[in-house]
Chain A
């Protein structure tokens, strides 16, 4: 009953999306404007309908309706209720439905805005968002139906379809297979929604860009209107990537946070173009330049959002043949191709119209350096894209499977990240329009001089790794330059307002949240860079098998194996937990409990580390199963991850900076309150 209701709601949402797209396109082609009211209402209606579909599926999951194929695949009786509920996005069909629901929420909210100044773009925005939504919901309706039921025929064969096959009767397993153990972690509960919010969020600026191209606008209205949407999408995508890194660190048991896995890169690529876009739009707003480039960036970001979903949902990463066999893979491929071609056609048709209002006269100017920043982001994107698609090319063209692992990515992106750090320090100090070397040097010499103290100090402390020294110097340079910019701004403002320094600083940041929020983001990046340099350059590890009372050493740390306990946990898992004591420089510092959880329902183990964390680094202990685990011997793998917590602290600062930048100012929120919400 509930499954039928959920499917009906989902199907109606699909019809609404199709109807809204057709009507909006008809209005765009000159049909009656009143039709747009109907298109808008249909676009808004898709949201509550998909909400009902998601609620129905959640109800089925929480209440253990194992007659539903999706529920039987990702849920089990032993799972706690919150994991059952979040299994909504734990499998293919559910995650697609969840993606569509978030998309419908974004679309409804953007449709409800005041369109007074962008009436001409409205039909195209509705059409673009609704076509995207219709595509995703159609995958659910026709291919990956989360409400498909299990049936058994007279020969004992089971199948999963929404409607009963002839001669088959319903089949309800006693229990479900349960959620993949790797996904039973708080980080993984929040991580997918954050990523999806980031993904769907970028559809909004893309839709406005298409609207601007289609109606022939050459101003930056589409950028100004979608500025906050873009920032919020970027915020969620960043948060999703950070949470994914933290999840990998806590759950995957390899002592790292980022493995250059294609799935990670799939989410990272739209973030790269999105970040380049956020920088580049400032130039269009300020100087009326880079109009083509901004269009290209948002088209690329949209294409990469769909491409990222395609990579992770089509099975193409495991094999191109799996992709060919999967029903949704080719559809995704066609959708990406068609939307990309249409977008580029619109762009080239309006190419002449989008000419720059100014020319770039100095590559050391702020806009010149921003352009270099964009080129570096594109360079990193190309390296990532090549690394992800080459295994597919190799398998397709030469029939040979290959792996592109971290060494390639580190080699190709490392120098570009370093150059980006350098630009992050210099660009905010460069003036608009024209900056000469002498003038830039005059501004930057003080932060540069102070920053040199860092590599000198580190060198004196005995660190001689040149790459680490360079990286830490760059981080110090950005730190000094950013703080100097705060100082310069506050001092200048103090002179003009006679406030004290801290009031001036506060007012300065409050008056331009976007700019100073951006600087806080840069500070976050510095912290993250320090953490990354620490773990990438100085991580050490060792492994050994110990009996009770035996010890092993890594760096200044000593680990002693005390005892082992094995017990069943509530959610059908058997826990094997070691207790170890950790000493640093001869002093007891912590008792850790590295453990292995064995999930009986899925017959899958999970390695949970014991971690002693300080700002200096993490002492990270894993209980590995190279040999049987027992009192006589248990194998421990230990990592020393220097400075890794700076990465998480930096992430926190990064997100805070984005929130500051996205927060509406007083004047803006006041003006928003004054404008009535309604259809144009």
Chain B
């Protein structure tokens, strides 16, 4: 009997904390759920944060957050709705891109033909950098061949005043 009681006690001692945890979780979820439902209403700032990354389909080069057209007002309302239903920024941007084309994005995507857009600047930078470095190398070469050795540091700094007077005369 004692052992049975103990067993019951043991089993209830396991169940009770679980129940309490379950209840606490339930209450917590319901309380926070309510709070979350309240904060699910997106603010204008949250809408603007996404709208400024999208461009008006009607006006050229006008971000959605400042565009005054009716189309943009509807788009902002759509962003508001999507945020309220739990969509994140990337999902919303993807939605608009799918619906209206990639021109609504602030910059071209990196895939497909548009890869050219992103590939050209680094290529130009590298090619340009190569020529600049080669140019600098040539200058050093000219320096050395002109003097037979690397240019030595002048020990006397030239007379600044005389140089200035000379320049003033020259640039007048």
B21 to chain A, nearest CB (A): 40
B105 at the interface (CB under 8 A from A): yes
B166–chain A nearest beta-carbon distance, Å: 11
Give B48 Cβ to nearest chain A Cβ, in Å.
Answer: 6
Q: Is the CB of B171 within 8 A of A514?
A: yes
Residue from the list A361, A386, A400 in contact with B102, Cβ < 8 A: A400
Do A512 and B167 form a contact, CB below 8 Å, given A390-B108, A394-B114, A543-B45?
Answer: yes
Residues of A within 8 A of B (CB): 252-254, 259, 261-262, 286, 317-318, 359-363, 368, 375, 379, 382-383, 386, 390, 393-394, 397-398, 400-408, 412, 431, 434, 436, 438-439, 442, 488-489, 492-493, 495-496, 508, 511-512, 514-515, 541-545, 605, 607, 625-626, 635, 637, 665, 667-668
B61, B76, B107, B158: the one contacting A431 at CB < 8 Å is B158
State in angstroms the CA–CA spacing of A318 and B132 once bound together: 37
Whether B113 pairs with A394 at a CB distance below 8 angstroms is yes
Classify chain B: how many residues form its interface, as a range: 35 or more
Whether A400 pairs with B101 at a CB distance below 8 angstroms is yes
Interface residue? B25 (CB, 8 A): no
A508 touches B101 (CB 8 A): no
Q: A398, A401, A545: which contacts B113 (Cβ < 8 A)?
A: A398
Docked complex Cα distance between A361 and B153 (Å) = 14
Q: Let me know if B161 is at the binding interface, CB within 8 A.
A: yes
Q: Which residue of B lies closest to A437 (CB)?
A: B153
Residue-wise interface mask of B (100-141) relative to A, using a CB-CB cutoff of 8 A (1 in contact, 0 not)? 011111111000111011001100110010001000100100
Q: Are the C-beta atoms of A394 and B117 separated by less than 8 Å?
A: yes
- Pick from B107, B146, B153: contact of A405, CB under 8 Å: B107
26 contacts between A and B (CB under 8 A): A254-B65, A254-B66, A261-B61, A262-B60, A286-B170, A318-B60, A360-B139, A379-B125, A386-B120, A401-B103, A402-B102, A403-B104, A404-B108, A405-B61, A405-B63, A436-B151, A436-B153, A439-B154, A492-B160, A493-B161, A493-B165, A508-B164, A514-B171, A626-B73, A626-B76, A635-B44
B114 pairs with A402, CB closer than 8 A: yes
Closest to A260 in B: B61
A377 to B136, CA, bound (A): 18
User: With an 8 A cutoff between CB atoms, is B16 at the interface?
Assistant: no
- A398-B113, A495-B161 known; A404 vs B107 contact (CB < 8 Å): yes
A436 to chain B: which residues have CB within 8 Å?
A: 151, 153
Structural contact, B106 and A512, CB atoms closer than 8 A: no
Instruction: Bits for B39-73, please: 1 = Cβ < 8 Å to A, else 0.
Output: 00001110010000001000011010110100001
Please tell me if the beta carbons of A382 and B124 are within 8 angstroms of each other in the complex.
Answer: yes
Which residues of chain A are within 8 angstroms of B146 by Cβ–Cβ distance?
Answer: 361
Given contacts A360-B139, A368-B139, A390-B108, contact A667 B172 (CB under 8 A): yes
A368, A401, A635 — most chain B CB neighbours (10 Å): A401
- A637 to B49 Cα, complex, angstroms: 13
Specify which chain A residues have a CB less than 8 angstroms from the CB of B44 in the assembled complex.
542-545, 626, 635, 637
Task: Give the secondary structure class of B's interface.
Answer: helix
Q: How far is the CA of A488 from the CA of B76 in the complex (A)?
A: 58
Interface string of B57-93 (1 = CB under 8 A from A): 0001101011010000100100000000000000000
Contact between B171 and A515, CB atoms less than 8 A apart = yes
How far is A406 from B63 in the complex, measured between Cα atoms in Å? 10
A317 to B125, CA, bound (A): 26
Closest chain B residue to A398, Cβ basis: B113
Q: Determine whether the beta carbon of A403 is less than 8 Å from that of B106.
A: yes
Q: Which single member of A403, A625, A668 contacts B61 (CB below 8 Å)?
A: A403
Checking B107, B124, B153 against A438 with a beta-carbon cut-off of 8 angstroms, the contacting residue is: B153
- The residues of B that contact A545 with a CB separation of less than 8 Å are 44
Question: Contact between A412 and B117 (Cβ–Cβ < 8 Å)?
Answer: no
Contact partner, A402, options B103, B160, B168, Cβ 8 Å? B103
**Contact, CB under 8 Å: B151 / A253:** no
How far is B58's CA from A249's CA once the two chains are assembled, in angstroms? 22
Residues A400 and B113 in contact, CB atoms below 8 Å apart: yes
Rank and list the top 9 A-B pairs by shortest CB-CB distance, nearest first: A405-B106, A492-B161, A543-B44, A254-B66, A401-B103, A398-B113, A402-B108, A511-B168, A403-B55
Does B20 interact with chain A (Cβ within 8 Å)? no
A252 touches B143 (CB 8 A): no
B120 and chain A: residue at smallest CB distance: A386
How far is B107's CA from A253's CA once the two chains are assembled, in angstroms? Answer: 22
Q: State whether B172 touches A665 (Cβ < 8 A).
A: yes
Give the contacting residue for A439; candidates B128, B153, B163; CB below 8 A: B153
Task: State the CA gap A668–B128 with chains docked (Å).
Answer: 41
Closest B-chain residue to A409, C-beta based? B107
**B5 contacts partner chain A, Cβ-Cβ < 8 Å:** no
Specify which chain B residues have a CB less than 8 angstroms from the CB of A386 in the assembled complex. Answer: 117, 120-121
Q: Is the CB of B161 within 8 A of A361?
A: no
**Known contacts A318-B60, A626-B44; is A253 also within 8 Å of B66 by CB?**
yes
Q: B168 to A508, Cβ gap below 8 A?
A: yes
Point out the residue from A359, A405, A408, A668 that lies within 8 Å of B142, measured CB to CB: A359
- Which residues of B sit under 8 angstroms from A398, Cβ to Cβ? 112-114
Q: Please tell me if the beta carbons of B160 and A512 are within 8 angstroms of each other in the complex.
A: no
In the complex, A635 Cα to B102 Cα: how many Å? Answer: 30
CA A436 – CA B151 in complex, angstroms? Answer: 8
B157 located at the interface, meaning its Cβ lies under 8 Å from any Cβ of chain A in the complex:
yes
A400–B117 alpha-carbon span in the complex (Å) = 13
Q: Which residues of A contact B106 (CB under 8 A)?
A: 403, 405-407
* Nearest-Cβ distance from residue A269 to partner chain B, whole angstroms: 16
Q: What residue of chain B has the Cβ atom nearest to residue A253's Cβ?
A: B66
Q: In the complex, given contacts A254-B63, A543-B44, what are 14 additional A-B residue pairs having Cβ atoms less than 8 angstroms apart?
A: A259-B63, A360-B139, A379-B128, A383-B121, A394-B113, A404-B108, A439-B154, A493-B165, A496-B165, A545-B44, A607-B68, A626-B76, A635-B44, A667-B172
